[in-house]
Structure 1
Amino acid sequence: MIKKILTTVLLVMVCNFILWQNILQLKNGRFWLVLVLSLLFYLAFSVLPERFSVRDLKYMTLRMKVLYGGCELLTAFGYGFMIELVFYVILLIVGNLPWRLLLANALVFLVLFLLLEMQGIFRLLLLSKQIKVGKKLMVMFFWWIPIFNIYIIRKVTRIARIECEVESHIAQMDAARAENQVCQTKYPILMVHGVFFRDWQYFNYWGRIPKELIKNGANVYYGKQESALAVKESAKELSAQIEQILEETGAPKLNIIAHSKGGLDSRYAISMYGMHEKVASLTTINTPHYGCKWADILLGKLPLSVVKKVAKTYNKMFKKLGDAHPDFIGAVEDLTEERALVFNQEVMDMPGVLYQSVMSKMNSPKSAGFPLSLTYRIINMLQKVENDGLVPITSAKWGEYLGDVVVSGRRGISHGDMIDLFRENIAGFEVRNFYVDLIKDLKSKGY
């Protein structure tokens, strides 16, 4: 903090060079020496502000260093501007300097400090992945409004600084566990996506998670089943993918990590298509093993014509994205509580396969945007049970239950947060480390 204060004070002094030159009556050699040193300091701070920080930059990527530098620029701008205001108030009260000198000095200071602010803003807008589009637009259009700009810039600077902290912490942990390859399990990892998404084209369903697992030694593959099919059809595609992976790797079995409906697809493949001999473990994430009440409502309360129209639109769109025969209604029907009851009677757990599950919960409707905020309320109203916006906690427990994923405050962890859908850093929950720990545990169990 002392270093930051001293740096900011020195920066303010440098930007008040006209005033100091007049007060100290610098001439000839001394004038040019001080001017050159002042310019060098200003340029050094402007280009490499992170170097003036007390923070260890060792584990930051170039993007993070530049972003962190943007935070330093904006912090210096904010505090420096306040110091300058106090300084000018004192000058006006006790000083007798010419107003032309004070005005010229103020204009030079303002230009130099606004250049720092603009550079800091550009760094945050271009490099931060955690600042939402809405906040970026607010900064772009309202950065010039006094008072409000301090509020919004302070807010986005905090977000960007936390982003740098989280990413450098992850990098530091990766460096510490690099030699151990903590995610190098005995069997390959198959990650199976849920309904209404695809996991291998255009957009990675699992966010930043696979890259982190691979970095720590995991051998990762994807389910590649279509986005929306009845469970038995998805399970058929999944079984073919399992066969292909084992043939490609030469491994006798694999471990499945499945999210949402992907857990039901996996259970069906294991029990009904003979994959029990080729799957060592199944870990389900927020899977509705006992169904979802909202699915019953969607199919039971809405007019059939509306359901069919939604299904037709969905199927048409995902055909264009590559699905051969998407089936919206078939997928949703298999998520109802009625179907879940029949499913659990027919699809029995197989000996020799480790079944385990985990579940998260939202703490309020504000934990997620629409439609999860709405379905969270519906589940609360109908069942009065904690949920992730789609699945009640009571529906997700299967096999060995590994516990609830929770955080304090109103944020909570939604259905989408568990797969890093929005690539968002959530206070109290680092999703990449969560999956690293999950795979580490499989490795320790001999899988």
Structure 2
Amino acid sequence: MAQALSTRYPLVMVPGMLGFVRLLLYPYWFGIPAALRRGGAQVFVVQVSPVNSNEVRGEQLLRIIERIRRETGADKVNLIGHSQGALTARYAAAKYPQWIASVTSVAGPNRGSELADYYVRRYPADSACGRLLALALRVLAGGIWLLETGQRGPLLPIDVEASHRSLTSEGAALFNRQYPQGVPTTWGGRGAEEVNGVRYYSWSGIVQDKRSDSGGNRFDGSHFFCRLNVRGFFRERECDGMVGRLSSHLGQVIGDDYPLDHLDIVNQSLGLVGKGADPVRLFTEHAARLKAAGL
């Protein structure tokens, strides 16, 4: 498998809200970049503002892409975004499609998250609880910067309200009107697989599958947190604990019912996932898919 995953263009991994490259020794994409590199892929794991709007994060990503293109000599890159990272990648592709070969959304809230709607409704920004939540997120973002060892740099701008707004159903609807590439025109459908020369893909998971409660997830506290979040979903009971199954659709839907919660899908919690689940394989198979497509 030495060159089985050697895509034509570099792979750029974009994290979601409260994302990072590596906190001390703990990577965001646990075991995934290493598996891709073993297959011959050129992989860049990047950092953007952990809490901010899709547009601000997207502009940061464009500057990173420009640097990667300059350093590697590649004309384009393949963007793989987890959670809000998917919307960040979509923004970059909409603005500079000539730089992007493909956008892959992994559990991306492409039509917003009912969980974000729930928090905005339950804890308005001008309420005491809302201000406390905003403070907690700012502290977490600062902590991420302090503990980041994978990509050091200045503290990136933080905007809690803009981040929340971007992730709500209403905010996503506005974003989609401006940047509709790859978004299904019908609820639960599939979007255009290629727009302006950029290929669009997506996959996501659900926690309601009993397999997701087995295996390593018995010892994974984040999994129980995701299961608890399901009570905040009313339109889509099938969700990964943070993003609804149908809301995640973008372009070619590779799968939307993997037994993986929102963090399992990028192999977090040291790879503790449900029995039979293999999130790393989803990424290596996708790199092979991109290579076969000439990307």
1:194 corresponds in structure 2 to 16
The answer to whether the aligner puts 1:298 opposite 2:116 as a matched pair is: no
Can you list the C-alpha shifts for 1:77-125, whole angstroms capped at 9, x where unaligned? xxxxxxxxxxxxxxxxxxxxxxxxxxxxxxxxxxxxxxxxxxxxxxxxx
1:325 corresponds in structure 2 to 157
CA contact (8 A) 1:193 1:261 kept: yes
CA contact (8 A) 1:185 1:443 kept: yes
CA contact (8 A) 2:6 2:291 kept: yes
After TM superposition, give the deviation of residue 402 of structure 1 in Å. 1.1
After TM superposition, give the deviation of residue 285 of structure 1 in Å. 0.6
After TM superposition, give the deviation of residue 324 of structure 1 in Å. 3.0
Match of 1:398 among 243, 250, 253: 250
2:204 corresponds in structure 1 to 359
After TM superposition, give the deviation of residue 356 of structure 1 in Å. 1.1
Can you list the C-alpha shifts for 1:302-335, whole angstroms capped at 9, x where unaligned? 2522111121232134225423322222212111
2:101 corresponds in structure 1 to 280
Number of matched pairs: 260
Distance 1:252 1:206, change over 3 A: same
1:243 corresponds in structure 2 to 66
Unaligned runs of 5+ in 1: 1-176, 407-411
Match of 1:417 among 264, 267, 274: 264
> What is the SS of the residue equivalent to 1:356?
strand
1:374 corresponds in structure 2 to 228
Q: Distance in 2 between matches of 1:420 and 1:200?
A: 14
**Structure having greater relative contact order (Cα 8 Å, sep ≥ 6):** 2
> What is the SS of the residue equivalent to 2:200?
strand
1:24-35 to structure 2, matched below 5 A, reads none
Q: Which amino acid aligns with 1:392?
A: G
Q: Distance in 2 between matches of 1:302 and 1:348?
A: 29
Q: Which has the higher helix share?
A: 1
Q: Distance in 2 between matches of 1:219 and 1:424?
A: 26
> What is the SS of the residue equivalent to 1:404?
strand
CA contact (8 A) 2:93 2:103 kept: no
2:33 corresponds in structure 1 to 210
Distance 1:222 1:301, change over 3 A: same
CA contact (8 A) 1:192 1:258 kept: yes
After TM superposition, give the deviation of residue 425 of structure 1 in Å. 5.0
Q: Which amino acid aligns with 2:196?
A: P
Match of 1:316 among 139, 148, 165: 139
Q: Which amino acid aligns with 2:288?
A: K
The answer to whether the aligner puts 1:443 opposite 2:291 as a matched pair is: yes
After TM superposition, give the deviation of residue 370 of structure 1 in Å. 4.0
CA contact (8 A) 1:376 1:387 kept: yes
Q: Distance in 2 between matches of 1:394 and 1:404?
A: 7
Q: Which amino acid aligns with 1:259?
A: H
2:281 corresponds in structure 1 to 433
CA contact (8 A) 1:191 1:258 kept: yes
2:151 corresponds in structure 1 to none
CA contact (8 A) 1:372 1:389 kept: yes
1:24-423 to structure 2, matched below 5 A, reads 177-178=1-2, 181-202=3-24, 203-271=26-94, 274-303=95-124, 304-322=127-145, 323-349=155-181, 350-363=195-208, 367=213, 369-379=223-233, 382-406=234-258, 412-422=259-269, 423=271
Moved over 4 A (4+): none
Q: Distance in 1 between matches of 2:14 and 2:277?
A: 22
Q: Which amino acid aligns with 2:198?
A: V
Q: Which amino acid aligns with 1:374?
A: L
CA contact (8 A) 1:319 1:325 kept: no
Q: Distance in 2 between matches of 1:313 and 1:425?
A: 27
Q: Distance in 2 between matches of 1:425 and 1:321?
A: 24
Q: Which amino acid aligns with 2:162?
A: G
Can you list the C-alpha shifts for 1:377-410, whole angstroms capped at 9, x where unaligned? 321xx1253111111111011111112343xxxx
Q: Which amino acid aligns with 1:295?
A: A
Q: Which amino acid aligns with 1:435?
A: F
Return the TM-score normalized by structure 2: 0.83
Structure 1 vs Structure 2: percent identity of aligned residues? 27
Q: Distance in 1 between matches of 2:265 and 2:130?
A: 28
Q: Distance in 2 between matches of 1:285 and 1:324?
A: 23
Larger radius of gyration: 1
Q: Distance in 2 between matches of 1:185 and 1:384?
A: 35
Q: Which amino acid aligns with 2:281?
A: N
Distance 1:414 1:321, change over 3 A: closer
